[in-house]
Amino acid sequence: MRISMTRALWLLMSIVVLHSCNDETIEPVFYGNLEGFIRHSESEEPLAQVKVSTSPLSVSVLTDHRGYYRIDSLEAKEYSVFATKDGYGAETVKVNLSRNATISQNIFLDPFIPDNEVAIYEPVSPIPPNDSTGLDLVVVLGWSTLNAIAENDSIIYDINIYASEGSAEDKRIIDFPDTTLAITGLRYSTTYYWQVTSKNLEGQKINGPVWKFTTQDFPDNRLFFALKDDDPDGRGENYNIYSGSQEDSIIVRLTKDVGMDIAPSLSFKRDKVAFVSDRNNNEPHIFTMDPDGKNPFQVTTLPVTGYHNPGVGYCWSPDGGRLLYSHYDRLYKIDRNGTNLELVATAPEGRHFRRCDWTAQQNKIVVETVGVNGFDSEIYLMNDDGSEMTLLVENVPGRVGDPSFSIDGKSILYTYDVSEFESQDNRQLDTHIFLMAIDSSSVEDLSQNNKDNGTNDLMPIFSPDGANIIFYNVPNDGIGEPSVWIMDSSGGNRELVYEGALTPHWK
């Protein structure tokens, strides 16, 4: 069986980072309950068999003979509550559920007054209201028909939904028996048009008006990371790129390819996200895409690879126009459009380049080199043209790696296995994050007294304001789940951000 050296290195990396994934954050989730009565707006008589649903989508319930409804165990946050009943105008209200509380919300429905000039089956009263904007990516559509239908007359509906861009996401639902329909899988910043056609058993049809709504703008996320997804073709590893925010729990999937999409990095201009993927020929190459995941583009023709380098050895230039990356014992620059490949430096004999970073301060590059054995590692500092290559962190017992600059370029973060453990499988036992002042070579252990025993802190970088550090932590047994963390620049206040994630970036 033929297997490339590159692929073998990818598999070796999976020993360290083979984990399951949870698309949700690990922050505690609190729940509340919603109840209330639905009544006639004029007589205030209770209305039975009123359908009550929510957006974001939960469950739909019907009121009892008292007009009472209740929905339990809803995540504590804001909801739109919809009430619909044939013969009445649909109604929507906003509620904000508190943790461990039951919120009462009564709703009043207006009866329809038949209009002889309008067909009695015409769909009316759209939910959300026509021209609504800023909607979630799950929308509950609702409508009613005019109140002039015989009790024995059954109505069914055809619903057409299509996006403003005329994409393949257009949907058509035939012979739908209800007047509410949950639509999932919507896209950000997109206008959707929808139309309901009412039909009775005699085959009469009446088209309703065309309504529209627009989803919310794409979030301005600043955190990027890789999450493990399902493995549809049995490869055994399938990571995709996601973005998120430190402020809320919403995460957005940016790539959807089967394989390893890892090491995302937002450019300094914040207009492109670079990442590494083995989607073509099972070799790790640099790709770029828009921050919303659109317009993916393969930048490199030489893979990002080498000793213990399954695609993590690259970084942006300070101006966002070029990428610096390692290819075995060579360090290259390349324009982000894939042109002007330029050799920057050659590694010492018997060593390959791995992780790197590039700062505009004094136009410096910091880069890790590694030998056949992963613990045979060291860190160099050089000018951005490859000159004056100087040893910064020497090869010591245990593994050194993951260098990145501080905002002012005067210090670097790096990782080191303080257990000084060395083995043929390159296992790390107790890797800490260190901060080194370049001029004085003074070193501070930021993981000391904060990191859980039996784990490794890896791939640290500073936040955009330099006040915090983002990194990922992984159990040293090779089978536990990784997780993304944030701590302050002195190593305190460690905060778990995303479970099941790795290779984070913050810009």
Same domain, 174 and 247: no
Same domain, 271 and 174: no
Block residue for tokens 């922050």: 27
Maximum mean pLDDT: which of 25-34, 121-130, 148-157: 121-130
| Residue 198 falls inside a structural domain | yes
Cβ contact 283:303 at 8 Å: yes
| Residue 362 falls inside a structural domain | yes
Supply φ then ψ for residue 300, to 5 degrees. Answer: -95, 150
Cβ contact 21:89 at 8 Å: no
Same domain, 197 and 314: no
The C-alpha R_g of the chain, in whole angstroms, comes to 29
| Residue 220 falls inside a structural domain | no
CA distances from 304 to 116, 121, 309, 385, 415 (A): 72, 63, 7, 19, 21
| Residue 388 falls inside a structural domain | yes
Amino acid at 278: D
Tell me the per-residue pLDDT of 30-51, one tens digit each, with 9 for 90 and over: 889 999 999 998 889 999 999 9
| Residue 408 falls inside a structural domain | yes
Q: How far apart are CA 262 and CA 9, in angstroms?
A: 14
Confidence at residue 153, expressed as pLDDT on a 0 to 100 scale: 56
The CATH number of the domain holding residue 139 is 2.60.40.1120
Confidence at residue 231, expressed as pLDDT on a 0 to 100 scale: 55
Looking at 180, 215, 250, the residue that finishes a domain is 215
Weakest-pLDDT range from 165-174, 255-264, 381-390, 395-404: 165-174
Q: Is 17 helix (H, G, I), strand (E, B) or coil?
A: helix
Same domain, 167 and 251: no
Rounded mean pLDDT of 432-461?
A: 94
Block residue for tokens 């896209």: 187
Rounded mean pLDDT of 250-266?
A: 87
Q: Which of 195, 201, 86, 83 is nearest to 146 (CA)?
A: 86
Domain interval for residue 398: 5-21+229-506
Q: How far apart are CA 166 and CA 146, in angstroms?
A: 31
Same domain, 206 and 109: yes
- Indicate the pLDDT class of residue 282, thresholds 50, 70 and 90: confident
Rounded mean pLDDT of 357-381?
A: 95
Q: Is 14 helix (H, G, I), strand (E, B) or coil?
A: helix
Is the per-residue pLDDT at 425 higher than 90? no
Looking at 191, 215, 239, the residue that finishes a domain is 215
Same domain, 156 and 259: no
CA distances from 175 to 62, 194, 345 (A): 21, 16, 67
Number of compact structural domains in the chain: 2
Cβ contact 191:199 at 8 Å: no
Same domain, 386 and 444: yes
Q: Is 497 helix (H, G, I), strand (E, B) or coil?
A: strand
- Indicate the pLDDT class of residue 226, thresholds 50, 70 and 90: very high
| Residue 221 falls inside a structural domain | no
Tell me the per-residue pLDDT of 175-222, one tens digit each, with 9 for 90 and over: 898 899 999 888 888 899 999 988 876 667 788 888 999 999 988 888
Q: Is 51 helix (H, G, I), strand (E, B) or coil?
A: strand
Confidence at residue 118, expressed as pLDDT on a 0 to 100 scale: 38
Looking at 162, 185, 215, the residue that finishes a domain is 215
Same domain, 320 and 377: yes
Q: Which residues contact 178 (CB under 8 A, 6 or more apart)?
A: 51, 157
Within 10 angstroms of residue 354's Cβ, the number of other Cβ atoms is 26
Give the tokens for residue 302: 């030489």
What does the mean pLDDT of the chain come to?
86
